[in-house]
Amino acid sequence: MGLFHVQIEILPVNGGASTVQSVLVDTGASYLVLPGSLLVSLGYRAVDRQRVIFATGQAASWEIAEVRVRLQGRERTVLAFLAPDQSPMLLGAQTLETFGLGVDPLGKRLIPVDAYLAQSRDPTVKHLKPERELYLMDAQPDIRPALTVTPGEVLVVEVAEGFLGIRDPARLPTPFTDEAVGHPIGKVTGPIFVEGALPGDSLRVDLLAIDPGDEGVTVILKNYGWLPKEFPGPVMRVSPIRDGFVHFGGLRIPVRPSLGTLATMPEELDHFGYAGPHGGDLDQNELRAGTVCHLPVFRPGGLLFLADPHAIIGDGITCGTGLECGATVTLRVTVERPARLDRPVIETADAVQVVGTGPSLDEACRDAARAAVRLIAGTTRLSAEDAYVLCSLVGDFKIGTSPRPVMAVRIVLPKGVLSQAAR
């Protein structure tokens, strides 16, 4: 996440005058994003197309070109999207890596960073399976790491279905109650120890792919969901997952896989599974492939956990559960210093999404709003008062969780607007 501009020089294909452009540093984006008409005028032509995902969940296919660029005295050939002319010009994470640069968020500048050669230590991608008997309501700070990774490594993590294959809904406890403590549901995979991560840092988790299993379940649990009196349960629906679709009765619904739980180990532990500054069971459906989640580090190594995958889930989770399934998650973890914010921040290609939590929906929204104001006032030229007003104009609240002891929401802020106010 970055909300400041830098100057880049774009070299033409066949000589002639180069052009200098001001671009927004945005580590939530993948590549360089430039107007297609500008690149065509400099002689560039598309070499491929790639799918891009926006904050709304919509996708598009954009042309991509190999472009010669100078930045801070370094010249590289990088991939750049030929974007519609009204799109913001962005400098993404992989482009920064190509230049060997990182972000100093406090100084609002680019700084040289070391390159990691994780493959020289282990020529294969590391895999982690949910082999331990470790559950969402039972995790403790003294759990020894299941895997240690170097920042920048790509790893594949298998995450179990939240209900662990139980197909009798009467055997399932109501989540976030005493009967759920010690019950074998909500199995977590982890913790993952990230070398060099220290309290005060944050983990940048790039969700590269989430591949669901071949079956999922949705359950109306006892005394759970938004309408527990009208629909007391327990009732279970099992839905096959085939060819990219959920088969719900006679309906075919496109899958939209996401992670319900992504968390570091908090400094003080109440219930690890509750949502909070460490992440926890956030149930934000934007935690899907192509997004980035920034999580504060409270203990050495961060101790990253994954749990509760969904093939698809709606914001607010009306009946209390999504399509609960097992999934294989491919991700990359890096360390950010200092931390981005004191809470989870989700980034998509065109939005910054600030998470808020609290004992009620009202309190969770207030928590997110306060954090969004701090973020905007701290990274743009706007005052806190103007940031508060801007949130009212362009910030959209999204309810993640169903009713539970700690609610989690997010406020979605469009990067195209924030970039206009960047320092």
Q: What is the mean pLDDT of residues 94-100?
A: 87
pLDDT of residue 221: 94
At 246-305, the pLDDT tens digits run 999 999 999 999 999 999 999 877 777 789 999 999 999 999 998 999 999 999 999 999
How would you classify residue 126: left for phi > 0, otherwise alpha for psi between -120 and 50, otherwise beta? beta
pLDDT of residue 140: 73
At 33-60, the pLDDT tens digits run 999 999 999 999 998 888 887 655 567 8
Q: Which amino acid is at 84?
A: P
CB 282, CB 275: distance < 8 Å: yes
Does residue 23 carry a pLDDT above 90?
A: yes
Number of CB atoms found within 10 A of residue 326's CB: 21
CA dihedral 335, 341, 344, 348 (to 10 degrees): -80
Residue 120: pLDDT band with limits 50, 70, 90: very low
Q: How far apart are CA 365 and CA 386, in angstroms?
A: 18
* Tokens describing residue 49: 């197309």
**Taking the alpha carbons of 285, 288, 292, 296 in that order, is the dihedral positive or negative?**
positive
Say which residue, 62 or 94, is predicted with more confidence: 62
Query: How does DSSP classify residue 266?
Result: P
Q: What is the mean pLDDT of residues 331-351?
A: 91
Q: How far apart are CA 56 and CA 396, in angstroms?
A: 11
CB 151, CB 116: distance < 8 Å: yes
Closest to 217 in 3D by CA, of 159, 280, 289, 164: 164
Residue 121: pLDDT band with limits 50, 70, 90: very low
Residue pointed to by tokens 């790893």: 155
Residue 90: pLDDT band with limits 50, 70, 90: very high
CB 264, CB 278: distance < 8 Å: yes
Range scoring the smallest mean pLDDT among 97-111, 272-286, 343-357, 409-423: 97-111
Number of CB atoms found within 10 A of residue 253's CB: 14
Domain architecture of the chain: domains with CATH: 5-112 (2.40.70.10), 118-341 (2.60.120.580), 351-421 (3.10.28.20)
* Tokens describing residue 276: 């909070």
Closest to 160 in 3D by CA, of 372, 308, 358: 308
How would you classify residue 196: left for phi > 0, otherwise alpha for psi between -120 and 50, otherwise beta? left
At 146-195, the pLDDT tens digits run 999 999 999 999 999 999 888 999 999 888 887 877 677 788 898 999 99
Q: How far apart are CA 102 and CA 186, in angstroms?
A: 36
At 394-420, the pLDDT tens digits run 999 999 999 999 999 999 999 999 989
Number of CB atoms found within 10 A of residue 213's CB: 17
Percentage of the residues of the chain whose pLDDT score is greater than 90 = 63
Q: How far apart are CA 370 and CA 183, in angstroms?
A: 36
| pTM confidence score | 0.73
* Burial class of residue 398 in the structure, from the number of CB atoms within 10 Å of its CB (0-12 exposed, 13-18 middle, 19+ buried): middle
Average per-residue pLDDT in the chain? 89
Residue 338: pLDDT band with limits 50, 70, 90: confident
Does residue 117 carry a pLDDT above 60?
A: no
**389: Cα within 13 Å, side-chain hemisphere:** 4
pLDDT of residue 3: 67
Q: 257 - beta bridge partners?
A: none
Q: 263 - beta bridge partners?
A: 305
What is the DSSP pairing of strand 32-35 with strand 74-83? parallel
pLDDT of residue 106: 56
CB 76, CB 85: distance < 8 Å: no
